[in-house]
Structure 1
Amino acid sequence: MDDHVLFAQAVALALESRGSSPVLVSPRSAAQVVDACGRAAPAVVLLDLRLGTGEDGEHLDGLDLVAEVASTGCRVIVLTGEQGDHVWGTALERGAVAVLPKDVDLDVLAATVEMVQRGDVVTDPGRRHQLIAAARRVRGARAAQLAAFSQLSPREAQVLRLLAAGQAAGSIARTAHVSEATVRTQIRAVLTKLGVQSQLQAVAVARRAGWLEDTGP
């Protein structure tokens, strides 16, 4: 049985033992999760950040759902195996009332749910500020990394994506029906604008900044 299902069942049993009536929602799509939460509002929602793959084959990221679930009137407690402060801070920024590690003691988790149900503050204000500040620092650093890529022309950006896909200058030239000299000129422009010395460095910088994922093929 999937580890996520086993974990969800263990959490449900812990909550039931303290008098709660949890409802397990197997995510089939982002819309289905939000709809289920809307029908249950104002409930406390335990939201995993790793929701697997939906019916349409799309990856479901719980972090992308925090704001929508919170907007239904539900109070969101995020459960995650990720330890990065910036991830926790982003969840809080988007409306989560608390973030807990997935290895949290189930009694602690159940007690936290009860506190949220009562309307108690469960995240220390100082810690909350620290986590949100970490999220903003990471976003700022990533924005700075991506700024250089905004200087690329559409054709230069396409050449960089093709280099990242493993194509050589000659292959790119044949596909685009231009001379190899033209492609090499475009590659030099890419290197200059990114402040790197080689094609390998350019691709590495693009991967590290997440630019390739943002722009797609």
Structure 2
Amino acid sequence: MIRVVVADDHAVVRRGLTGLIESTDDLEVVGVARDGREAVALVREMRPDVAVMDLQMPVMDGVEATRAIVGEASGTGVLVLTSFSDHARIDAAIGAGAVGYLLKDAEPESLLDGIRAVARGESPLDPRAARRLVSRTAHGRGGTVPSAADGAGLSPREAEVLRLVVEGLLNKQIAARLGITERTVKAHLTSAYQRIGVADRTQAALWAQRHDLGGAGGSEGARD
């Protein structure tokens, strides 16, 4: 079971998220927090796999709570779930150590897949958040993009997978789009990371955008 802590200052949202998560066979809610301070205390006590974190909360906001959780090296991955997709909040959340950033208008299944992705060590990003993050970095106002020369030796399929990462798709969704297995997607990503010199999904998305791999394209008939 993937153990989850939910942090949100709205009771209706907390109850809705708890009900959604508990409706699955592989996820369970082990704690619910009304503010960032409670979230930090719950994570410290329960050691969940994932903390689903709102950003705008009283007492301690989601950014500070994320920074505290990550700083304690508890092994808990923080998935931000918020209504805001502006540059400042995205930068602040990622800078504090959040590994995923989803918006509250996401489909329920996308949120559940996002929680699972964080538990697997992946970085789910809402497509709008990903575009804003990439756009901000591309204009030289922050973030880090690994410097790599064009022609990094990516195979057509690896490049295609990176394009879909830029679109914000999770591995499961990429596999369905390309008609390959999720395991194959992971293998392509691992190989692509090594070729372009990055360590995670966010850096890969930034690299892909900088090197003109962010648009739609690629051959649906490319070989695995």
Return the TM-score normalized by structure 1.
Answer: 0.50
Q: Which residue of 2 aligns with 1:95?
A: 97
Quickly say closer, same or farther: Cα 1:35–1:128, change in 2 above 3 A. farther
Q: Which residue does 2:170 correspond to in 1?
A: none
Aligned to 1:23, the other structure's residue is in SS state: strand
Output the amino acid matched with 2:124: V
Q: How does 1:140-151 map to 2 (within 5 A)?
A: none
- CA contact 2:86–2:132 (8 Å) conserved in 1: no
SS in 1 for 2:51: strand
Q: Does 1:133 align with 2:127?
A: no
1:1-217 equivalent positions in 2, closer than 5 A:
4-19=10-25, 20-27=27-34, 30=37, 32-52=38-58, 54=59, 60-71=60-71, 72-123=74-125, 130=134, 133=137, 137=141
Pair 1:88–1:129, CA change in 2 (3 A): closer
Greater helix percent: which structure?
1
Q: What are the Cα deviations for residues 164-217 of structure 1, in whole angstroms up to 9, with x where unaligned?
A: xxxxxxxxxxxxxxxxxxxxxxxxxxxxxxxxxxxxxxxxxxxxxxxxxxxxxx
Gaps of 5+ in 2: 1-7, 144-224
Task: Please tell me the residue identity of whatever aligns with 1:120.
Answer: E
What TM-score, normalized to structure 2? 0.49
Letter in 1 for 2:65: L
Q: CA deviation at 1:89?
A: 2.0
Percentage of pairs with the same residue? 26
In 2, Cα distance between equivalents of 1:116 and 1:14: 17
8 Å contact from structure 1 (residues 46, 78) kept in 2: yes
SS of the counterpart of 2:29? coil
The structure with more radius of gyration: 1
Q: How far apart, CA to CA, are the structure 1 residues paired with 2:96 and 2:20?
A: 27
Alpha-carbon separation, structure 2, partners of 1:132 and 1:12: 34
How many aligned residue pairs are there? 130
CA distance in 2, matches of 1:84, 1:43: 27
- 1:48–1:79: 8 Å Cα contact kept in structure 2? yes
Rounded Cα–Cα distance in structure 2 between residues aligned with 1:62 and 1:28:
8
- Distance (Å, rounded) in 2 between the aligned partners of 1:29 and 1:121: 21
What is the deviation of 1:131? 6.7
RMSD: 3.2
Q: 1:80 to 1:25 in 2, by over 3 A?
A: same
Cα distance in 1 between the residues matched to 2:75 and 2:9: 29
Tell me the secondary structure at the aligned position of residue 38 of structure 1: helix
Q: What is the Cα deviation at residue 22 of structure 1? A: 0.8
Write the deviation string for residues 144-170 of structure 1: whole angstroms up to 9, x where unpaired: xxxxxxxxxxxxxxxxxxxxxxxxxxx
Contact 1:89–1:131 (CA under 8 A) maintained in structure 2: no
In structure 1, what residue type is equivalent to 2:52? L
Counterpart contact for 2:50–2:115, Cα < 8 Å:
yes
